C-alpha cells in the first residue's frame, strides 16, 4: 500500500485538479473517505468547533493531535493538517512535525500570522502578519525535522486577507518557496476569485498552489482547472452541514417531545455501528469468544394476488405494486434490514415469477388458490432452519415504522404479537382481526405485561382491545411447539388448509401458552385497497 505521505505528495503534484474535504473527527474522516475523496483537510476551525471552543488556538496542539490520531486510524487516505501558525515559534513547529509523522499524518499547513491566531474571516484586515524571515525559519525548521521525505509542508499566505495586496502576496510566496515549502496556499476573503486568479497568473508554476474557495464558491470549478491550481480544499462544509442537521433534529425533538417522526428521517443506529466497524468486531468475537448468540430470521407471507386491486394485479401480486418508485415488498424488506434482520424468506404464490427481489430466500405455495395462510406458513417453515433462531412472521403487504419491529425483537417472551390499540384501526384493514387482551391499552399497560385472550373478527365492541397488525414473534425456545401445533391443525382438519394465522395463535392460547401483547397506536398499514397505496406515502 502506498504510504499516506506519498499519496498526498502525488495529489499535490498531480497534473489534474485534486480535492481535499474537511473532516474534524474519526467519524467524519471515515465518511469523507467513503464518499470518494482522495485526501482529508483536518480543519482547525472544524476541530475547534467540535470541541466547542473558538478558532483562536484555544484547543492545544496536543488536543488536536489526539483528534488526528483517531482520524488517521479510521481512514486509509492522507490527512493534511491545518496547523494554524505552527502553535508557536520554529521550535514548536519542529516538535509538531515529529509528532505528526508519528501519528501517520501526511502533511501540515502553517499560515503566516502571529500566535495565537484568529480565524481569517474575523476582522481579517486588522490581523498582523508574521515577519517574513521569522516565518521562513519555521518552514526550514519543519523541513529539517521531517524524517519521511514525502511529508508535505505547505505555507499559507494571508496577505490578501490582511489587505496587503498582490505584490506582498507574491513577495511572501517566493520567500516561502525558497525556504523549502512544498506548496503554497493563497487565501482570500472576497466573494469573487479575482485576487486568487491574479496571483496564480503572476506566480505561474513555480510550485503547486492550493486554494480554499469558501467565500468565492460561485466560481466554476473549471476556472480552477484552467488556471492549473493544484488542489481545492473544501474547508468546513462537513462541520457546517452537521451543525445544520443537529440544530434541526434538536428543535424537532424538543417541539414534538417524541422521536417518532425524526427516527424515520435519520440514519438507523446500524449505520453508526457500520461506520464504527462493528462488523469487524463481530467477526473477531466469532474467532476469539465462545458463541451462544441467537440470530433472527423473518418469514413473510406473500402468496395472495390482492383481487381488490383489479387490473393492477393482473400480472403481479399486490406485494409487487409500485410504492414511491419501488415494490411494496421491497419497502417491507428494507424495514426488516434496517433493524439488522438479514435472513428473510418470502412465501410466493400468485405470479410467483414476478417476485424476484435480490438477497431473499423464496418458498413457493403453488396451491395458493385453494389454500390459505396456514399452508403458506407451513411451507415457509419447511424452507428455513430455525435452530437457535428467533422468528418474526409478517406479511409482504403490511408496512410498519421500523421502531415497531424493534419493539417486537426486544421482548423476551416466547410468543408475542403487535396490537394497534387505536379504535380507528379497524379502518386500516378489509378484514380486521380484533383482539381481546388481559388489559386494555392504558398507562398501567405500559408498566405491566399484557397477554392475548383471543383473536376474532366477531368480537363485541366491549371486548375489543385493538386489532392485530399481522406481526408475530416466536422464540427459538418454542419453535418445535409452534411447528407441531401448526402441523396438527392442518392434518386434523382439512378446512384449515384454507385457514388464517389467527386460528393458529388462538390454538396456542388454548394449549396454555402465553402470547404477549405489544401495544402501538398507528404507524402501520395493511395495504388492502387502492386508497392504501396513497396512505402508504408516509412510510
Cα 144 to Cα 137: distance, rounded to the nearest angstrom:
10
C-alpha 349: how far from chain center = 35
- Whether cis (ω within 30° of 0) applies to the bond prior to 116 is yes
Smallest Cα–Cα separation from 351: which of 317, 300, 375? 317
Mean pLDDT score, 201-222: 97
- Separation CA 511–CA 505 (nearest Å): 10
Mean pLDDT of 359-372: 91
| Range 233-247 average pLDDT | 96
What pLDDT, on the 0 to 100 scale, is given for residue 324? Answer: 75
pLDDT at 429: 53
Q: What percent of the chain has pLDDT over 70?
A: 92
**What pLDDT score was predicted for residue 233?**
98
Residue 126 pLDDT class (50, 70, 90 cuts): low
Per-residue cell: 2: 502506498
pLDDT surpasses 60 at 146: yes
Q: What is the band of 525 on the pLDDT scale with cuts at 50, 70, 90?
A: confident
In SS3 terms, 414-474 reads as CEEEEEECCHHHHHHCCCCCEEEECCCCCHHHHHCCEEEEEECCCCCHHHCCEEEEEEEEE
- Residue 229: predicted pLDDT: 98
Q: What are the phi and psi torsion angles at 389 (to 5°)?
A: -120, 135
Q: Do 108 and 81 form a contact (C-beta atoms < 8 A)? A: yes
pLDDT at residue number 307: 82
Spatial CB neighbours of 149, under 8 Å, sequence gap ≥ 6: none
Q: Give the Cα separation of 476 and 457 in Å (integer).
A: 29
Q: What is the pLDDT of residues 79-110, one digit of tens each?
A: 999 999 999 999 999 999 999 999 999 999 99
Alpha helix ranges (H) inside 204-326? 221-226, 237-256, 260-263, 269-276, 278-288
Residue 165, phi-psi category: left (phi > 0), alpha (psi -120 to 50), beta (remainder): left
Rounded to whole angstroms, the Cα distance separating 489 from 486 reads 5
Local structure of residue 229 (DSSP, 8 states): -
Q: Nearest-CA neighbor of 490 among 383, 392, 362, 373?
A: 373
Which residues pair with residue 232 across a beta bridge? 19, 211
Element (H, E) at 165: helix 165-179
Average the pLDDT over 398-417 and give the result: 91
Cell numbers linked to 354: 414476478
Average pLDDT, the chain: 90
Which carries the bigger pLDDT value, residue 143 or residue 385?
143
Q: 372-375 long-range CB contacts below 8 Å, 24 or more apart?
A: 372/496, 372/497, 372/498, 372/499, 372/500, 373/301, 373/499, 373/500, 373/501, 374/486, 374/489, 374/490, 374/496, 374/497, 374/498, 374/499, 374/500, 374/501, 374/503, 374/504, 375/490, 375/497, 375/498, 375/499
Q: What is the DSSP string of 473-509?
A: EE-GGGHHHHHHHHHHHHHH-GGGGG--HHHHHHHHH
Report pLDDT for 430. 56
pTM of the model as a whole: 0.63
- Say yes or no to pLDDT of 138 above 70: yes
> How is residue 435 written as a grid cell?
383482539
Contact 90, 139 (CB under 8 A): no
User: What per-residue confidence (pLDDT) applies to 53?
Assistant: 94
Torsion sign over Cα 315, 316, 317, 321: negative
DSSP letters spanning 88-151: SSHHHHHHHHHHHHHTT--EEEEESBPSSP--TTSSGGGPPBPPHHHHHHHHHHHHHH-SSTT-
- Secondary-structure breakdown of the chain: helix, strand, coil percentages, each rounded to the nearest 5: 45, 20, 35
Confidence band (pLDDT; 50, 70, 90) for 135? very high
Range of lowest pLDDT (114-123, 177-186, 428-437, 472-481): 114-123
Q: Are 424 and 503 in contact (CB under 8 A)?
A: no
> pLDDT band at 339, cuts 50/70/90?
confident
- Per-residue model confidence (pLDDT) at position 428: 47
pLDDT value at position 381?
92
- pLDDT surpassing 80 at residue 221: yes
R_g (Cα) of the chain, nearest Å: 32
> pLDDT tens, 431-463?
688 999 999 988 877 778 999 999 998 888 889
Looking at residue 539, its pLDDT comes to 56
> What is the pLDDT at residue 291?
52
Q: To the nearest whole percent, how much of the chain has pLDDT over 90? A: 69
Catalytic residues: 55
pLDDT at site 270: 83
Amino acid at each position: 500500500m502506498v504510504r499516506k505521505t506519498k499519496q498526498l505528495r502525488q495529489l499535490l503534484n498531480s497534473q489534474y485538479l485534486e480535492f481535499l474535504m474537511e473532516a474534524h473527527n474519526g467519524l467524519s474522516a471515515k465518511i469523507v473517505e467513503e464518499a470518494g475523496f482522495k485526501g482529508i483537510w483536518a480543519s482547525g476551525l472544524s476541530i475547534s468547533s467540535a470541541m466547542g471552543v473558538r478558532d483562536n488556538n484555544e484547543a492545544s496542539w496536543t488536543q488536536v493531535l489526539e483528534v488526528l490520531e483517531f482520524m488517521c486510524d479510521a481512514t486509509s487516505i492522507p490527512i493534511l493538517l491545518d496547523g494554524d501558525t505552527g502553535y508557536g515559534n520554529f521550535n514548536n513547529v519542529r516538535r509538531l512535525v515529529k509528532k505528526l509523522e508519528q501519528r501517520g499524518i501526511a502533511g501540515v499547513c502553517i499560515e503566516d500570522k502571529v500566535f495565537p491566531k484568529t480565524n481569517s474571516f474575523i476582522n481579517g484586515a486588522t490581523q498582523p502578519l508574521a515577519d517574513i524571515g521569522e516565518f521562513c525559519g519555521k518552514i526550514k525548521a519543519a523541513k529539517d525535522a521531517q524524517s519521511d521525505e514525502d511529508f508535505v509542508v505547505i505555507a499559507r499566505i494571508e496577505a490578501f486577507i490582511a489587505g496587503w495586496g498582490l505584490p506582498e502576496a507574491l513577495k511572501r510566496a517566493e520567500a516561502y518557496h525558497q525556504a523549502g515549502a512544498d506548496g503554497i496556499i493563497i487565501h482570500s476573503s472576497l466573494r469573487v476569485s479575482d485576487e486568487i486568479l491574479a496571483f496564480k497568473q503572476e506566480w505561474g508554476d513555480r510550485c503547486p498552489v492550493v486554494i480554499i474557495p469558501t467565500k468565492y464558491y460561485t466560481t466554476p470549478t473549471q476556472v480552477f482547472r484552467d488556471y492549473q491550481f493544484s488542489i481545492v480544499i473544501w474547508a468546513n462544509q462537513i462541520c457546517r452541514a452537521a451543525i445544520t442537521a443537529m440544530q434541526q433534529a434538536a428543535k424537532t425533538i424538543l417541539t414534538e417531545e417524541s422521536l417518532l417522526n425524526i427516527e424515520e428521517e435519520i440514519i438507523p443506529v446500524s449505520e453508526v455501528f457500520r461506520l464504527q466497524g462493528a462488523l469487524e468486531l463481530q467477526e473477531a468475537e466469532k474467532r476469539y469468544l465462545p458463541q451462544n448468540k441467537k440470530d433472527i430470521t423473518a418469514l413473510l407471507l406473500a402468496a395472495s394476488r390482492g383481487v381488490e386491486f383489479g387490473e393492477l394485479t393482473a400480472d403481479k401480486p399486490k406485494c409487487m405494486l409500485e410504492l414511491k418508485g419501488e415494490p411494496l415488498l421491497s419497502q417491507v424488506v428494507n424495514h426488516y434490514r434496517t433493524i439488522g434482520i438479514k435472513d428473510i424468506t418470502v412465501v410466493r404464490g400468485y405470479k410467483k415469477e414476478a417476485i424476484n427481489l435480490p438477497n431473499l430466500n423464496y418458498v413457493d405455495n403453488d396451491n395458493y388458490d385453494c389454500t390459505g395462510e396456514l399452508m403458506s406458513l407451513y411451507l415457509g417453515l419447511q424452507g428455513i432452519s430455525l435452530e437457535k433462531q428467533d422468528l418474526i412472521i409478517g406479511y409482504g403487504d403490511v408496512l410498519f415504522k421500523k421502531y415497531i419491529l424493534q419493539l417486537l425483537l426486544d421482548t423476551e417472551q416466547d410468543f408475542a404479537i403487535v396490537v394497534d390499540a387505536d379504535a380507528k384501526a379497524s379502518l386500516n384493514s378489509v378484514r380486521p382481526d380484533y383482539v381481546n387482551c388481559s388489559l386494555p391499552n392504558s398507562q398501567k399497560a405500559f408498566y405491566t405485561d399484557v397477554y392475548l385472550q383471543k383473536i376474532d373478527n366477531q368480537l363485541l365492541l366491549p371486548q375489543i382491545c385493538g386489532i392485530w397488525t399481522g406481526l408475530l414473534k416466536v422464540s427459538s425456545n418454542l419453535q418445535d411447539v409452534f411447528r407441531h401445533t401448526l402441523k396438527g391443525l392442518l392434518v386434523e382438519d382439512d378446512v384449515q388448509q384454507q385457514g388464517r394465522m389467527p386460528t393458529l395463535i388462538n390454538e396456542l392460547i388454548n394449549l396454555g401458552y402465553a402470547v404477549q401483547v405489544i401495544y402501538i397506536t398507528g404507524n402501520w398499514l395493511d395495504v388492502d385497497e387502492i386508497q392504501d397505496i396513497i396512505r402508504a406515502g408516509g412510510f
